């Protein structure tokens, strides 16, 4: 007797649910490590650059605490003892205190005048359309490309004819004129990134143009003002050519002139330890200003890119 085997019922026939097999997609190919190589290279370049910038500063600070013999016999070694008399000698005997005060007066007055006048001019050029707007704007840009060395001789005669030669306020006015082109160029681009709706709301509420500018728009431009203020501070604090030509009075010299005077004060025997102490004195305010306002500087530089 033959027996016939009945085939096993299919899942559909038996009523069992059909389940799909777990098919996993093929693993993606390994990504190339070009990004990693690029990051390592860029970080290496930044480390080298930081080393090249920081090492001279640290070496100058370290040398300011050495005596003259140690500076030449062991220039790269740490000082055997801290000679604070270098700083006191540079501050008192070399008249660095007077030079420091003159520099603070000149740079402080010129910085305030540059920011006030430059922000007002930049606001008008950025917010108002009138005949000659672009022409005035390009005049300021042209002032950035004009080398100051070509203007030294006529500038000397202009300042002399105005009776401002060898004066603090005369040097302040020259610094303001020297820094205005870049200030107007920088702040004009910054004011264009600010929203116009806030100024229009102030006009609707009855605010005048001056009140809108000083109470609303100027506080909104604080990052840009700090950024351009830092740049102007660096240029004006380290300025040497203009005070050398326009300020020959020994009692009204600024720090850069004082450092040169300190270097040649003793003829062939230079006071190297005192010179490095004076150099660090002139360097510390610039470093302190940048460290304090570094976040605002970055915000001011990137504000236009984030719009």
| Domain-located, residue 146 | yes
User: In this structure, is residue 47 part of a structural domain?
Assistant: no
Whole-angstrom Cα distance, residue 203 to residue 134? 25
pLDDT band at 287 (very low <50, low <70, confident <90, very high): confident
- Assigned token pair, 55: 């090492």
Average pLDDT over residues 273-298: 82
Of 202, 231, 196, the C-alpha closest to 214 is 202
Lowest mean pLDDT among 18-22, 178-182, 194-198, 258-262: 18-22
Res. 17: pLDDT tops 70: no
Which residue reads 């220039």 in tokens? 75
**Domain-embedded: residue 66:** no
Reported as a pLDDT band with limits 50, 70 and 90, residue 24 is low
CB 91 within 8 A of CB 284: no
Q: Is the pLDDT of residue 276 over 50?
A: yes
CATH at 178: 1.10.3720.10
Residue 25 belongs to some domain of the structure? no
pLDDT in tens, 129-175: 889 999 999 999 988 888 888 888 899 999 999 999 999 999 999 99
Label residue 307 by pLDDT band (50, 70, 90).
very low
The answer on pLDDT for 1 being more than 50 is no
Q: Round to whole Å and give the CA distance between 78 and 66.
A: 8
Q: Using pLDDT thresholds of 50, 70 and 90, give the confidence band for residue 300.
A: low
**Phi, psi angles (nearest 5°) of residue 132:** 90, 5
Average pLDDT, stretch 174-195? 91
pLDDT of 39 reads 81
DSSP run (H or E) holding 61:
helix 34-63
Extract the tokens encoding 236.
């004006």
Residue 172 CA, chain-centre distance (Å), reads 21
Above 80 in pLDDT, residue 57?
Answer: yes
Q: Is residue 9 part of a domain?
A: no
| Residues 61-90, mean pLDDT to the nearest whole number | 86
pLDDT of residue 67: 87
Query: What tokens does 165 get?
Result: 């030669």
Mean pLDDT across 215-224: 88
Work out the number of other CB atoms within 10 angstroms of the CB of residue 164: 17
Count structural domains, the chain: 1
Q: Which two tokens stand for residue 73?
A: 């016999």
- Cα 148 from chain centroid (whole Å): 21
Q: Does residue 192 lie in a domain region?
A: yes
The mean predicted confidence, pLDDT, of the chain is 82
Helix (H/G/I), strand (E/B), else coil: 155: helix
pLDDT value at 306 more than 50: no
State the pLDDT at residue 198. 86
Domain hosting 104: range is 85-302
Q: Does residue 80 lie within any of the structural domains?
A: no
Task: Tell me the pLDDT band of 26, cut-offs 50, 70 and 90.
Answer: low
Specify the range with the lowest mean pLDDT, choosing from 87-96, 117-126, 170-179: 87-96
Taking residue 277's Cβ as centre, other Cβ atoms within 10 Å add up to 28
Question: For the whole model, what pTM was predicted?
Answer: 0.77
Residues above pLDDT 90, as percent of the chain: 26
Asked if 262 and 94 touch (Cβ cutoff 8 Å), the reply is yes
Are 107 and 113 contacting, i.e. CB atoms less than 8 angstroms apart? no
Cα first-last separation, the chain: 91
Q: Is residue 247 part of a domain?
A: yes
């Amino acid at each position: 007797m033959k027996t016939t085997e009945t085939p096993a019922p299919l899942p559909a026939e038996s009523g069992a649910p059909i389940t799909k097999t777990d098919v996993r997609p093929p693993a993606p190919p390994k990504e190339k490590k070009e990004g990693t190589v690029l990051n390592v290279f860029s970080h290496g370049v930044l480390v080298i650059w930081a080393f090249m910038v920081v090492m001279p500063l640290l070496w100058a600070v370290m040398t300011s605490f050495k005596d003259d013999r140690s500076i030449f016999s062991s220039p790269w070694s740490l000082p055997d003892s801290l000679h604070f008399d270098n700083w006191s000698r540079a501050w008192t005997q070399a008249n660095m205190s007077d030079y420091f005060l003159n520099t603070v007066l000149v740079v402080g007055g010129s910085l305030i005048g540059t920011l006030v006048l430059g922000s007002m001019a930049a606001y008008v050029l950025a917010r108002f359309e009138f005949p000659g707007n672009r022409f005035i704007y390009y005049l300021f840009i042209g002032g950035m490309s004009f080398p100051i060395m070509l203007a030294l001789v006529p500038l000397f005669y202009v300042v002399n004819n105005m009776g401002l030669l060898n004066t603090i306020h005369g040097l302040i006015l020259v610094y303001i004129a020297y820094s205005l082109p870049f200030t107007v160029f920088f702040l004009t681009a910054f004011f264009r990134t600010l929203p116009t709706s806030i100024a229009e709301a102030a006009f609707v509420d009855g605010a005048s143009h001056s009140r809108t500018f000083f109470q609303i728009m100027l506080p909104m431009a604080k990052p840009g003002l700090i950024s351009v203020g830092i740049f102007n501070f660096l240029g004006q604090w380290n300025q040497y050519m203009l005070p050398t030509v326009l300020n020959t009075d020994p009692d009204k010299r600024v720090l850069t002139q004082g450092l040169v005077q300190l270097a040649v004060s003793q003829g062939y025997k230079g006071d190297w330890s005192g010179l490095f102490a004076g150099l660090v004195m002139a360097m510390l305010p610039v470093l302190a200003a940048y460290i304090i306002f570094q976040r605002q500087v970055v915000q001011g530089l990137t504000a236009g890119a984030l719009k």
